[in-house]
Amino acid sequence: MLVYIVRRVALMVFVLWGVTLAAFVISHALPADPAAAALGNNAREEQLQAFRVRNGLDRPLAVQYGIYMARLAQGDMGASLRTQNPITSDLRQFFPATLELTLGAVVFALVIGLPLGVVAALTQGRWPDLVARTFALLGGATPVYWLAILALNVFHEKLGWLPGPGRLDAYSLPPPVKTGLVTIDSLLVGDREVFVDALRHLILPGLVLGMYSAALLTRMTRSALLEVLSQDYIRTARAKGLTRARVIGQHAMRNASLPILTVLGSLFGSLLTGAVLTETIFSWPGIGGYATTSAISLDFPAVMGVTLIAGLAYSVVNLLVDLLYAFFDPRISFS
Amino acid sequence: MKAVLTATLSLALLSTAGAQSSRQSTLVIGGDFSDLITLDPGVSYEFSGSLVTGNLYDTLVAYEGNNLSTLKPRLASSWTVAPTSTGSRLTFKLRDAKFSSGRPVTAADVVYSVNRVINLKTPSSFLYTDVANLKVGSVSAPDAKTVVMDIPKTANPNIVLALLTFNIGGVIDSTEAKAHETNGDFGSAWLKDHSAGSGPFMLNRWDRSAQVALDVNPNAFRRSVNIKRVILRYMLESSAQQSAMNSGEIDVAMNYTPDAFRDVVAAKKLKSQKADSFMLAYLGMNSAKGMPFEDARVREAVRYAIDQDGIISGLLQGLGRKTQTIIPIGLAGSDPKIYYPYDPEKAKALLKAAGKGDGFSVDFFVSTGSCAGGVPCADLAAKVQADLAKVGIKANIKQMVNSELLTAYRAQKAPLVQVSWSPDYPDADGNGTPLADYNAKSLAWRNGWHNADASKLAQSAAIETDAAKRLNIYKQLTALMVKEGPFSILYQPSRPIVIQSNVSGFNQNANGDVQFEKISKK
């Protein structure tokens, strides 16, 4: 088990190195000058040149990459060209918001997708199944930005049930930053009001972002469970006189959970990086907006940083999923 | 687990009881503040940065409200300009004022604040070093209440005074800045997200990409009417701003799209303002040898061909003003005359005279995203393309991200480009030199347009201190530029401001400044 983890981590480092190389090459492909992007339209030539020298942009690309990697090996991701802040502090600032939103979306996807899938599988061909399948179809086909604007318009503007854009109400000052997750931070200082406010702000963007995943989970759960329910051992279990609930809960779900887990893992990864549109419309200060701004302004170090952290998140989630496999299916072993 | 979940969800759906009293004294502004990089007045060079720092720091002199031609006292209660053998001497007498820390504002703080910007080589340092020709030591403090600034003949004291009104002229509590200095940075790392000024507000905290929270400064001499806290909330999308305005979550919105703004004006439920700007949206025509716009008549043809009224009424829904010369409306030196009424026939005749009667095609560089006045660049380009097509000019739109476009433009490689320009300081020279003087290596240079007369006029206007003489020079320069120059001005955009009906005193001037202390909420 431990050997397996070490091997996987070594592989992860190798993959991430590949990611840095690809990101570096791609982000330098645009025929544009990052100094001009950072300093803007009015900047003078001598300012641009000073900026290039100060940030090492005047050196050959290979040298720039070498310097970047040498620094990265020491845990230094360099400084943002646009904000001149260390990338590590930028990521620390923006990543938690995205993580919080993504966790919210995953929770919603599970709460909606799993029960719907189970109900659909058990009522195959009847109306609940039809409802679930319709939802799976619509939820998977609705464009996120359209859903986001609609949700804001209906639930915030028209009905006033839920708050608008942002992570907190404008009138409540955010709690001191500890984890960067507003929900957790507000609990840490025991501020119930802010905690509730943060949760309420999480509902709409979380639902919008989680909608596609919920639809996918519904489909996956339904088909995985149907697959399992037609197996012999289920019939055996039923024949032994076990209640239907126990058969489904203990025997069927346990085996159906593997494909569901796989989907959940890849979903989590794609949600982390796919939150850009949701974040933009809900003015959610996460990594998505940061990545977009950085890409548009040719902020290479920032783009590299975002790419790395996304790659890392993907790898870690994948590893966790593989390890959970063993937990659910004793036949899988890592030795 | 289930119990916890139910409890959480039911909690979440309960409306939070926000403190109503604080709502009364809190002003919430929704806008696109994504350009905010630092709140250090000496470093910030972005629109949002100026907007915020103008309320955290005081400058020696300032413009009040929409009057951007009369300097008013701020930290300096009076000032004099006297000629010297080497140039001129500006002497400022300071009023009694206190920083938010409670320390008095002294002449030493002013000297420190100027020298700091020169030493730091910030994006805006060139205003002091290149435009005002200041060096460390140019500014001195004979006593605690007197500041003396010596400038050489190459700098115009009026322009120096004008740029002192910018956030670069914000006076910093030097004791505070020195206390937070790391590696000789004059406290700029700390001042990124802390404030040390004497302005009407002080920084509570800045959550990047989320919000900036300002609290009223109890020591300020510019007293806020009844607002104790100002929150600037990042809302990049017009749709989000509209939602939040309609639900009453924000008090002011700054980035409605032209269409959404038109609806607000029509509905009359909310207050609306068209705030002026000094920005000019324009077409740059590359006039270098062998380029399609080498012949001045072709450039004139373009100016006749562009339907400015159609752009302003259609695309901008009135959020823009019509002007054709290089100095924006509102600055002394601007010329309101319409030299080129929309006339496609005249354009065709000019093209014919220039030997291009059969028309020609040209690559048209256009940015992605939003252009001046909040109109999508692609929509504006489509309109320009259609106007040019009517006279036989085929503009092939090449859309690219702004940074790529800027790089090509800076390298004189843009045949025809759709961009905008804002002056660095509210003075005609902020446009005169870059747009007319090839030697400044700015816009005239980028368009390969070299005209010795224009350069001479721009240079002499820059240092002319006699107001009447100066206006006369600008009159000649604008007339020359409008006829010969490489630009076709499209419009001067206005900013759409939407305000709740219970808020009064919100006003954004053409510089983009808003004095938060003048705003009150019922």
In this predicted model, what pLDDT tens digit does every residue of B181-198 receive, in sequence order?
998 899 999 999 999 999
Tell me the nearest-neighbour CA distance from A302 into chain B, angstroms.
Answer: 14
Lowest model confidence (mean pLDDT) among A3-12, B34-43, B192-201: A3-12
The amino acid sitting at A152 is: L
**DSSP conformational letter for B493:** E
Q: What is the mean pLDDT of residues B121-134?
A: 89
Contact A165 B401 (CB under 8 A): no
Chain A residues with CB-CB distance to B206 below 8 A: none
Q: Count the neighbouring beta carbons within 10 Å of the beta carbon of residue A160.
A: 14
Q: Count the neighbouring beta carbons within 10 Å of the beta carbon of residue A270.
A: 15
Q: Which residue of B has its CA nearest to A193?
A: B16
A78 Cβ contact list (under 8 Å, min separation 6): A68, A71, A86, A87, A301, A304, A305
pLDDT at B10: 42
Contact B243 A153 (CB under 8 A): yes
Chain B residues with CB-CB distance to A45 below 8 A: 441
Q: Which residue of A has its CA nearest to B248?
A: A157
Q: Which residue of B has its CA nearest to A34?
A: B403
Q: Could you say which of B45, B242, B406 has the minimum Cβ distance to residue A37?
A: B406
Q: Could you say which of B208, B240, B403 has the minimum Cβ distance to residue A297?
A: B403
Contact A285 B250 (CB under 8 A): no
Q: Could you say which of B22, B130, B207 has the minimum Cβ distance to residue A174?
A: B207
The four Cα atoms B9, B15, B16, B20 give a dihedral, to 10 degrees, of: 180
Chain A residues with CB-CB distance to B239 below 8 A: 149, 152, 281
Tell me: pLDDT of B164 over 90: yes
- Put simply, whether B236 touches A (Cβ < 8 Å) is yes
Chain B residues with CB-CB distance to A149 below 8 A: 239
**Range with the largest mean pLDDT of A156-170, A211-225, B303-317:** B303-317
Lowest model confidence (mean pLDDT) among A29-33, B8-12, B151-155, B217-221: B8-12
Distance between CA atoms of B214 and B227, rounded to whole angstroms?
10
Contact A83 B37 (CB under 8 A): yes
Q: Could you say which of A157, A200, A293 has the minimum Cβ distance to residue B247?
A: A157
pLDDT at B497: 96
Task: Give the model confidence (pLDDT) of B483-514 as tens digits.
Answer: 999 999 999 999 999 999 999 999 999 999 99
Give me the DSSP letters along A226-273: HHHHTSHHHHHHHHTT--HHHIIIIIIHHHHHHHHHHHHHHHHHHHHH
Q: Are B496 and B262 a contacting pair, CB within 8 Å?
A: no
Tell me: pLDDT of A10 over 60: yes
Q: What is the mean pLDDT of residues B167-191?
A: 95
The owner of tokens 């840490």 is A188
SS3 A29: coil
H/E stretch holding B420 reads strand B416-421
Q: Could you say which of A41, A50, A193 has the minimum Cβ distance to residue B421?
A: A41
Q: Count the neighbouring beta carbons within 10 Å of the beta carbon of residue A143.
A: 10
| pLDDT range class, residue A335, cuts 50, 70, 90 | low
**Percentage of residues of chain A with pLDDT beyond 70:** 98
The four Cα atoms B44, B46, B48, B54 give a dihedral, to 10 degrees, of: 50
Task: Give the model confidence (pLDDT) of B380-392 as tens digits.
Answer: 999 999 999 999 9
- Put simply, whether B38 touches A (Cβ < 8 Å) is yes
Q: Nearest CA to B507 among B25, B24, B29, B21?
A: B29
Mutate which: A173, A184, A202, vs B, most B CBs within 10 A: A173
Q: Are B325 and B335 a contacting pair, CB within 8 Å?
A: yes
pLDDT at B21: 58
Q: What is the mean pLDDT of residues B189-215?
A: 94
Chain B residues with CB-CB distance to A84 below 8 A: 37
| pLDDT range class, residue A206, cuts 50, 70, 90 | very high
| pLDDT range class, residue A273, cuts 50, 70, 90 | low
pLDDT at B382: 97
Please, what is the average pLDDT of chain B?
92
Chain A residues with CB-CB distance to B441 below 8 A: 44-45
Tell me: pLDDT of B153 over 60: yes
Q: Are B464 and B429 a contacting pair, CB within 8 Å?
A: no
- Put simply, whether B119 touches A (Cβ < 8 Å) is no
Contact B126 A297 (CB under 8 A): no
**Percentage of residues of chain B with pLDDT beyond 90:** 81
Q: Which residue of A has its CA nearest to B239?
A: A149
A171 Cβ contact list (under 8 Å, min separation 6): B18, B19, B22, B23, B26, B28, B231
- Put simply, whether B26 touches A (Cβ < 8 Å) is yes
Tell me the nearest-neighbour CA distance from B370 into chain A, angstroms.
Answer: 13
Task: Give the model confidence (pLDDT) of A182-204 as tens digits.
Answer: 888 888 888 888 898 899 999 99
Q: Which residue of A has its CA nearest to B34?
A: A293
Strand partners, A76: none
Tell me: pLDDT of B117 over 90: yes
pLDDT at A22: 87
Q: Could you say which of A94, A193, A293 has the minimum Cβ distance to residue B16?
A: A193
pLDDT at B433: 94
Contact B8 A199 (CB under 8 A): yes
Tell me: pLDDT of B282 over 90: yes
Q: Which two tokens stand for residue A67?
A: 């310097």
Contact B211 A166 (CB under 8 A): yes
Distance between CA atoms of A325 and B144, rounded to whole angstroms?
74
- Put simply, whether B243 touches A (Cβ < 8 Å) is yes
Task: Please indicate whether residue A289 or residue A328 has the higher confidence score (pLDDT).
Answer: A289
A207 Cβ contact list (under 8 Å, min separation 6): A105, A108, A151
B140 Cβ contact list (under 8 Å, min separation 6): B111, B147, B148
A 109-138 near B (Cβ less than 8 A): 111
Task: Give the model confidence (pLDDT) of A104-132 as tens digits.
Answer: 998 998 899 888 988 888 888 888 888 88
The owner of tokens 């995953």 is A106
The amino acid sitting at B208 is: R
pLDDT at A149: 87
Contact B403 A84 (CB under 8 A): no
With helix as H, strand as E and coil as C, how does B316-333 read?
A: CCCCEECCCCCCCCCCCC
Rg (CA), chain A: 24
Distance between CA atoms of B394 and B362, rounded to whole angstroms?
6
- Put simply, whether B269 touches A (Cβ < 8 Å) is no
Please classify residue A61 by burial: count the beta carbons closer than 10 Å to its beta carbon, then call 0-12 exposed, 13-18 middle and 19+ buried.
exposed
Lowest model confidence (mean pLDDT) among A272-286, B155-169, B361-375: A272-286
Q: Are B167 and B49 a contacting pair, CB within 8 Å?
A: yes
- Put simply, whether B445 touches A (Cβ < 8 Å) is no
Mutate which: A192, A283, A292, vs B, most B CBs within 10 A: A283
Q: Which residue of B has its CA nearest to A159?
A: B247
Tell me the nearest-neighbour CA distance from B322 into chain A, angstroms.
Answer: 23
B52 Cβ contact list (under 8 Å, min separation 6): B36, B39, B212, B214, B232
Distance between CA atoms of A114 and A96, rounded to whole angstroms?
26
Tell me: pLDDT of B178 over 90: yes
Task: Please indicate whether residue A321 or residue B92 has the higher confidence score (pLDDT).
Answer: B92
Q: Are B252 and B478 a contacting pair, CB within 8 Å?
A: no
Tell me the nearest-neighbour CA distance from B398 into chain A, angstroms.
Answer: 14
pLDDT at B15: 36
Tell me: pLDDT of A270 over 80: no
Give me the DSSP letters along A61-93: HHHHHHHHHHHHHTT---B-TTT-SBHHHHHHH
Tell me the nearest-neighbour CA distance from B143 into chain A, angstroms.
Answer: 35
pLDDT at B14: 39
Chain B residues with CB-CB distance to A293 below 8 A: 34
Task: Give the model confidence (pLDDT) of B310-360 as tens digits.
Answer: 999 999 999 999 999 999 999 999 998 999 999 999 999 999 999 999 999
Tell me the nearest-neighbour CA distance from B91 into chain A, angstroms.
Answer: 30
Contact B243 A43 (CB under 8 A): no
